[in-house]
Amino acid sequence: MDATEAEYSWLFREEFPGVVRTAYLVLHDQAAAEDVAQEAFTQLLLNWSKIARYERPSAWVRRVAIRLAVRVARRDRLRSTLLGWLEPPRADRHADLDLAAAIRSLPPRQRAVVALYYYEDKPLTEVASLLGCSHSTAKVHLFKARQRLAALLGADHRQGDSVA
Amino acid sequence: MSLDRRVRDELDALASSIQPDVEANLQASLRRVSSRSRRRGAAMVLAFAAVVVTVVVIGPGMFQAFRSNPIQPGGVASPAIERLSGRYTATVASDDAEILRQAMNGEWTIEFGDDGILGVSAPADFTGTRTGYSFEITGDQLRTDLFSADVCSGLIPGVYGWELADGVLTLTVLEDACAGRTALLTAEWRSTTGSE
């Protein structure tokens, strides 16, 4: 194993589970999330000579993964819409089914904002940077997502974080 | 419990239940890289050979003429053009300086005709010329002189990779010196043909 592969393998072991989890919160499908994360890491190794010089290669791979996840989620959503049927509710063994279903009903970009803001605890400026949009666009996505989640979960979206 | 607290707690629970097999994925990733590196190497050899043939056989003069050749619409539509032909819409909402300068934010419609004519419907604030453009398809590449009248004046046509899947047209810039055209064409285009 050469030095590049050793460094890459180390970074992969450190970051891969976290990247998969974030992608999962956008895609709600573990196999698809692993595929997206694997593709992002593949891109990383293919561009290793350049990316390894970055201060945080892990941030680069996360950005690639989240954008891929949004793209895949959009494609899946469009396919569902075109076929005219909704995904049947999955037997999600993990968490609150209401919340999982509510998040799945959000548009992919809003799902990504929710995952980055609530799960990864990223400030909105970083969320915007990861998604490649402006701060105000990210803020609008978050506002709409909260509004929708509150409506679906029967909560008050005005209570909670003060988003700047 | 506030909505934010609830979302945070439940996302944590949802995500922490995902335990990917890191080692299996690592090996799969290394195999992917190895396979792509081989393909990339082969593609580079082929590309190099093509360049050599182009330079030696066709000559630099012909090459330049090809690059700046105006697109000639008309003729028999190829299967690729038939597949692409139709109307697509995209909403541009960008902070990109060129987009803002050209007032290009808003809803766009482009129509690829069987005859190679590219029709454009632009947001009201856009002041550029909207007619008289064309395109041509060669395999998985699309070449167009869109906006050659003003936004991209003096620049050669842009070349893009194109992919149409599930009603979404994705254009990937391969060669284009015109930032405004690139910013617009690389938006997400959804087919509206037949939905009206």
- Structural domain span for residue A160: 93-164
Residues A54 and A124 in one domain: no
Residues A28 and A52 in one domain: yes
Q: Which residues of A touch B5 (CB under 8 A)?
A: 160
Calculate how close chain A gets to B117, using CA atoms only, in Å: 28
Is B46 in CB contact (< 8 Å) with chain A?
no
Say yes or no: A109 and A148 in one domain.
Answer: yes
One domain for residues B54 and B84: no
Asked if residue B179 and residue B126 are part of one domain, the reply reads yes
- The verdict on B89 and B37 lying in the same domain is no
Would B71 be classed as within a structural domain?
A: no
Q: Which residues of A touch B167 (CB under 8 A)?
A: 78, 82
Domain containing B184 — which CATH number?
A: 2.40.128
Question: Is there a single domain that holds both residue B121 and residue B27?
Answer: no
A117 and A102 co-located in one domain: yes
Domain extent, residue B91, equals: 79-191
- For residue A88, pLDDT over 70 is answered with no
Domain count within chain B: 2
E strands within chain A? none
On whether residue B104 sits in a domain, the answer given is: yes
Are B172 and B129 within one domain? yes
A97-108 pLDDT per residue, tens = 578 888 888 999
Written as tens digits, the pLDDT of chain B (196 aa) is 688 888 898 899 889 889 999 999 999 888 888 887 777 777 777 888 877 777 777 665 555 555 555 665 555 567 778 888 899 999 888 887 778 888 888 899 999 988 888 888 888 888 888 888 888 888 889 999 998 888 888 888 899 999 998 889 999 999 988 888 888 898 889 998 765 4
Q: Which of B4, B13, B28 sits opposite A94 (nearest CB)?
A: B13
Say whether both A130 and A63 belong to one domain: no
Confirm whether B67 is domain-assigned.
Answer: no
CA angle B140, B74, B187 (to 5 degrees): 40
Choosing from A88, A114, A129, the residue where a domain stops is A88
- The residue from A88, A115, A147 where one domain ends is A88
Contact (CB<8Å) B11/A25: yes
- Checking if the pLDDT of A89 tops 70, the result is no
Q: What pLDDT is stored for residue A10 in this prediction?
A: 92
Residue B60 tokens, joined: 């630099």
pLDDT at A112: 94
Can you read off the two tokens belonging to residue B41?
Answer: 């190497």
CB-closest option in A16, A45, A96 to B10: A96
Does residue B83 share a domain with residue B52? no
Does B72 reside within a domain?
A: no
Is residue B189 packed enough to be buried (19+ CB in 10 Å), middle (13-18) or exposed (0-12)?
buried
Q: Are strands B133-138 and B141-144 parallel, antiparallel or unpaired?
A: antiparallel
Q: Examine residue B69 and state whether it is found in any structural domain, yes or no.
A: no
**Nearest residue to B154 (alpha-carbon basis) of B122, B191, B116, B180:** B180
Instruction: Provide the token pair at B127.
Output: 């002041």
Local confidence band at A84 (pLDDT 50, 70, 90 cut-offs) = low
Complex ipTM: 0.77
Rounded to a whole number of angstroms, the distance from the CA of B43 to the nearest CA of chain A is: 15
Radius of gyration of chain A (CA): 17
A157 chain-B contacts, CB cut-off 8 A: 3
For residues B92 and B185, membership in a common domain is answered with yes
Quote the number of domains for chain A: 2
The model's pLDDT over A21-58, given as tens digits with 9 standing for 90+, comes to 999 999 989 999 999 999 999 999 988 888 888 888 88
CB contact under 8 A, B3 and A21: no
The pair of structure tokens assigned to A109 is: 């970009």
Q: Are residues B93 and B161 in the same domain?
A: yes
Question: Is B73 inside any structural domain?
Answer: no
Residue A75 with chain B: CB contacts under 8 Å: 165-166, 168
Structural domain includes residue B156: yes
Cβ neighbours, 10 Å, residue B140: 12
**CATH number where A163 lies:** 1.10.10.10
